[in-house]
Amino acid sequence: NAGVTQTPKFQVLKTGQSMTLQCAQDMNHNSMYWYRQDPGMGLRLIYYSASEGTTDKGEVPNGYNVSRLNKREFSLRLESAAPSQTSVYFCASSDDMGDYEQYFGPGTRLTVT
Amino acid sequence: GQSLEQPSEVTAVEGAIVQINCTYQTSGFYGLSWYQQHDGGAPTFLSYNALDGLEETGRFSSFLSRSDSYGYLLLQELQMKDSASYFCAVRDMYGQNFVFGPGTRLSVLP
Protein backbone atom coordinates (compact mmCIF):
# COMPACT_ATOMS: atom_id res chain seq x y z
CA ASN A 1 0.00 0.00 0.00
CA ALA A 2 2.01 2.97 -1.30
CA GLY A 3 -0.61 5.63 -0.53
CA VAL A 4 -0.20 8.64 -2.85
CA THR A 5 2.71 8.61 -5.29
CA GLN A 6 3.95 11.44 -7.50
CA THR A 7 6.39 11.61 -10.39
CA PRO A 8 8.79 13.17 -10.98
CA LYS A 9 10.30 14.22 -7.65
CA PHE A 10 12.31 17.05 -9.19
CA GLN A 11 12.06 18.90 -12.50
CA VAL A 12 13.72 21.90 -14.10
CA LEU A 13 12.00 23.54 -17.05
CA LYS A 14 12.78 26.47 -19.28
CA THR A 15 10.16 29.17 -19.72
CA GLY A 16 7.62 28.08 -22.31
CA GLN A 17 8.21 24.35 -21.98
CA SER A 18 5.37 22.02 -21.08
CA MET A 19 5.19 19.06 -18.76
CA THR A 20 2.76 16.80 -16.93
CA LEU A 21 2.97 15.90 -13.26
CA GLN A 22 1.63 12.46 -12.47
CA CYS A 23 -0.22 11.38 -9.34
CA ALA A 24 -1.69 8.04 -8.35
CA GLN A 25 -3.34 6.70 -5.20
CA ASP A 26 -4.06 3.12 -4.21
CA MET A 27 -6.52 3.78 -1.38
CA ASN A 28 -9.64 3.65 -3.57
CA HIS A 29 -10.35 7.31 -2.75
CA ASN A 30 -12.97 9.18 -4.69
CA SER A 31 -11.52 12.70 -4.40
CA MET A 32 -8.14 14.00 -5.51
CA TYR A 33 -6.46 17.40 -5.35
CA TRP A 34 -3.50 19.37 -6.65
CA TYR A 35 -1.87 22.02 -4.46
CA ARG A 36 1.12 24.28 -4.83
CA GLN A 37 3.25 25.46 -1.95
CA ASP A 38 5.55 28.44 -2.28
CA PRO A 39 8.41 29.04 0.19
CA GLY A 40 7.20 29.87 3.67
CA MET A 41 3.56 29.70 2.67
CA GLY A 42 0.61 27.43 3.05
CA LEU A 43 -0.85 25.23 0.38
CA ARG A 44 -3.07 26.68 -2.32
CA LEU A 45 -5.55 24.54 -4.19
CA ILE A 46 -5.07 24.48 -7.96
CA TYR A 47 -7.67 21.95 -9.10
CA TYR A 48 -9.64 19.16 -7.55
CA SER A 49 -11.62 16.15 -8.69
CA ALA A 50 -14.54 15.24 -6.47
CA SER A 51 -15.01 11.91 -8.23
CA GLU A 52 -13.91 10.07 -11.33
CA GLY A 53 -14.94 12.00 -14.41
CA THR A 54 -15.22 15.42 -12.74
CA THR A 55 -12.73 18.23 -12.24
CA ASP A 56 -13.12 21.74 -10.86
CA LYS A 57 -11.00 24.83 -10.40
CA GLY A 58 -9.56 25.72 -7.03
CA GLU A 59 -8.04 28.96 -5.83
CA VAL A 60 -5.18 29.30 -8.37
CA PRO A 61 -6.03 27.40 -11.61
CA ASN A 62 -4.56 29.79 -14.20
CA GLY A 63 -1.79 28.24 -16.28
CA TYR A 64 -2.75 24.66 -15.40
CA ASN A 65 -4.93 21.88 -16.72
CA VAL A 66 -5.85 18.57 -15.12
CA SER A 67 -7.07 15.15 -16.16
CA ARG A 68 -8.72 12.55 -13.95
CA LEU A 69 -7.61 9.59 -16.01
CA ASN A 70 -9.38 7.01 -13.85
CA LYS A 71 -10.18 6.60 -10.17
CA ARG A 72 -6.51 6.13 -9.28
CA GLU A 73 -4.79 8.79 -11.37
CA PHE A 74 -4.97 12.58 -11.49
CA SER A 75 -2.47 14.49 -13.61
CA LEU A 76 -1.54 18.18 -13.69
CA ARG A 77 -0.29 19.78 -16.91
CA LEU A 78 1.63 22.99 -17.40
CA GLU A 79 1.19 23.96 -21.06
CA SER A 80 3.68 26.83 -21.13
CA ALA A 81 5.71 27.06 -17.95
CA ALA A 82 6.49 30.44 -16.40
CA PRO A 83 8.96 31.35 -13.61
CA SER A 84 5.96 32.18 -11.40
CA GLN A 85 5.11 28.48 -11.46
CA THR A 86 8.30 27.58 -9.63
CA SER A 87 6.95 25.82 -6.58
CA VAL A 88 6.47 22.50 -4.81
CA TYR A 89 3.42 20.66 -6.08
CA PHE A 90 1.52 18.25 -3.87
CA CYS A 91 -1.12 15.81 -4.89
CA ALA A 92 -3.58 14.63 -2.25
CA SER A 93 -6.57 12.34 -1.98
CA SER A 94 -9.47 11.75 0.38
CA ASP A 95 -12.28 9.28 0.64
CA ASP A 96 -14.83 11.90 -0.37
CA MET A 97 -14.95 15.68 -0.79
CA GLY A 98 -16.52 15.98 2.62
CA ASP A 99 -13.75 14.04 4.29
CA TYR A 100 -11.67 16.20 6.60
CA GLU A 101 -8.51 14.11 6.27
CA GLN A 102 -6.42 14.35 3.14
CA TYR A 103 -3.47 12.11 2.32
CA PHE A 104 -0.58 13.82 0.57
CA GLY A 105 2.03 12.59 -1.85
CA PRO A 106 5.75 13.40 -1.39
CA GLY A 107 5.63 16.38 -3.74
CA THR A 108 7.30 17.50 -6.96
CA ARG A 109 9.84 20.29 -6.77
CA LEU A 110 9.58 22.31 -9.98
CA THR A 111 11.92 25.09 -11.04
CA VAL A 112 11.19 27.18 -14.12
CA THR A 113 14.12 29.24 -15.40
CA GLY B 1 -14.03 33.79 0.75
CA GLN B 2 -11.94 32.35 3.50
CA SER B 3 -8.83 33.55 5.31
CA LEU B 4 -6.85 32.12 8.19
CA GLU B 5 -4.24 33.65 10.47
CA GLN B 6 -1.51 31.89 12.43
CA PRO B 7 1.66 33.10 14.13
CA SER B 8 4.59 32.67 11.78
CA GLU B 9 7.00 31.20 14.33
CA VAL B 10 6.97 29.67 17.81
CA THR B 11 9.95 28.48 19.84
CA ALA B 12 9.88 26.23 22.90
CA VAL B 13 12.16 23.83 24.78
CA GLU B 14 11.98 20.08 25.03
CA GLY B 15 9.42 18.87 27.53
CA ALA B 16 7.44 22.11 27.45
CA ILE B 17 3.87 22.77 26.29
CA VAL B 18 3.16 25.02 23.31
CA GLN B 19 -0.07 26.37 21.85
CA ILE B 20 -0.44 27.34 18.18
CA ASN B 21 -3.42 29.57 17.48
CA CYS B 22 -5.53 29.87 14.37
CA THR B 23 -8.24 32.42 13.64
CA TYR B 24 -10.39 32.14 10.58
CA GLN B 25 -12.93 34.04 8.54
CA THR B 26 -15.15 31.93 6.34
CA SER B 27 -18.41 32.30 4.47
CA GLY B 28 -19.39 28.88 5.82
CA PHE B 29 -17.74 26.53 8.24
CA TYR B 30 -17.47 22.78 8.22
CA GLY B 31 -14.61 22.11 10.58
CA LEU B 32 -11.01 22.96 11.38
CA SER B 33 -8.16 20.58 10.59
CA TRP B 34 -4.51 20.59 11.61
CA TYR B 35 -1.59 19.28 9.58
CA GLN B 36 2.10 18.83 10.37
CA GLN B 37 4.84 19.24 7.78
CA HIS B 38 8.52 18.55 8.36
CA ASP B 39 11.05 20.36 6.18
CA GLY B 40 11.12 18.76 2.76
CA GLY B 41 8.21 16.49 3.60
CA ALA B 42 4.53 16.20 2.85
CA PRO B 43 1.77 17.47 5.12
CA THR B 44 0.30 14.82 7.40
CA PHE B 45 -3.05 15.00 9.15
CA LEU B 46 -3.07 15.56 12.92
CA SER B 47 -6.59 16.35 14.08
CA TYR B 48 -10.01 17.72 13.23
CA ASN B 49 -12.68 19.67 15.14
CA ALA B 50 -16.20 20.04 13.85
CA LEU B 51 -17.75 20.98 17.18
CA ASP B 52 -16.69 23.27 20.01
CA GLY B 53 -14.35 21.82 22.58
CA LEU B 54 -11.17 19.88 22.96
CA GLU B 55 -10.10 16.80 21.00
CA GLU B 56 -7.17 14.86 22.43
CA THR B 57 -4.88 12.51 20.54
CA GLY B 58 -1.90 11.47 22.60
CA ARG B 59 0.43 14.42 23.17
CA PHE B 60 -1.55 16.58 20.75
CA SER B 61 -4.87 18.26 21.45
CA SER B 62 -6.94 20.59 19.32
CA PHE B 63 -9.54 23.07 20.46
CA LEU B 64 -12.30 24.90 18.62
CA SER B 65 -14.58 27.80 19.49
CA ARG B 66 -16.96 28.42 16.60
CA SER B 67 -18.45 31.52 18.19
CA ASP B 68 -14.96 33.10 18.31
CA SER B 69 -13.84 31.68 14.92
CA TYR B 70 -10.79 30.45 16.76
CA GLY B 71 -8.93 27.24 17.34
CA TYR B 72 -5.60 26.07 18.62
CA LEU B 73 -3.30 23.11 18.56
CA LEU B 74 -1.72 22.15 21.89
CA LEU B 75 1.45 20.12 21.91
CA GLN B 76 2.56 18.66 25.23
CA GLU B 77 5.83 17.07 26.34
CA LEU B 78 7.58 18.59 23.36
CA GLN B 79 10.19 16.48 21.60
CA MET B 80 12.86 17.50 19.11
CA LYS B 81 10.98 15.62 16.39
CA ASP B 82 8.05 18.02 16.85
CA SER B 83 10.08 20.74 15.12
CA ALA B 84 8.03 21.29 11.98
CA SER B 85 5.49 23.61 10.41
CA TYR B 86 1.87 23.34 11.51
CA PHE B 87 -1.05 24.38 9.34
CA CYS B 88 -4.68 24.89 10.17
CA ALA B 89 -7.20 24.38 7.38
CA VAL B 90 -10.91 24.93 6.90
CA ARG B 91 -13.42 23.64 4.41
CA ASP B 92 -15.55 26.18 2.59
CA MET B 93 -19.33 26.39 2.73
CA TYR B 94 -19.71 23.89 -0.09
CA GLY B 95 -17.42 21.42 1.65
CA GLN B 96 -15.34 21.15 -1.47
CA ASN B 97 -12.50 23.59 -1.12
CA PHE B 98 -9.86 23.28 1.55
CA VAL B 99 -8.13 26.51 2.52
CA PHE B 100 -4.88 26.31 4.46
CA GLY B 101 -3.42 28.88 6.80
CA PRO B 102 0.08 30.28 6.20
CA GLY B 103 1.61 27.89 8.74
CA THR B 104 3.46 28.21 12.04
CA ARG B 105 7.05 27.08 12.20
CA LEU B 106 7.75 25.42 15.56
CA SER B 107 11.33 25.12 16.73
CA VAL B 108 11.99 22.86 19.71
CA LEU B 109 15.25 23.61 21.49
CA PRO B 110 17.18 21.17 23.70
Residue B45 C-alpha, separation from nearest chain A C-alpha, in angstroms:
6
CB B71 within 8 A of CB B65: yes
Q: How high is the pLDDT of residue A45? A: 92
Of B98 and A84, the structure prediction assigns the larger pLDDT to A84
First CA to last CA across chain B, in angstroms?
41
Q: What's the CA gap between A51 and A33, in Å, rounded?
A: 11
Contacts of B31 in chain A (CB under 8 A): 100
Q: How high is the pLDDT of residue B26? A: 80
Confidence label for B2 from pLDDT (cuts 50, 70 and 90): confident
Say whether A105 and B99 touch across the interface (CB within 8 A): no
Say if residue B59's pLDDT is above 80: yes
CB A28 within 8 A of CB A71: yes
Q: What's the CA gap between A77 and A19, in Å, rounded?
A: 6
User: How large is the average pLDDT for residues A16-39?
Assistant: 96
Q: How high is the pLDDT of residue A41? A: 80
Strand bridging mode A10-13 / A108-112: parallel
Q: Is A53 exposed, middle or buried (0-12, 13-18, 19+ CB in 10 A)?
A: exposed
Q: What's the CA gap between A74 and A5, in Å, rounded?
A: 11
CB B96 within 8 A of CB A48: yes
Q: Which of A37, A30, A54 is nearest to A106 (CA)?
A: A37
A96 at B interface, C-beta within 8 A: no
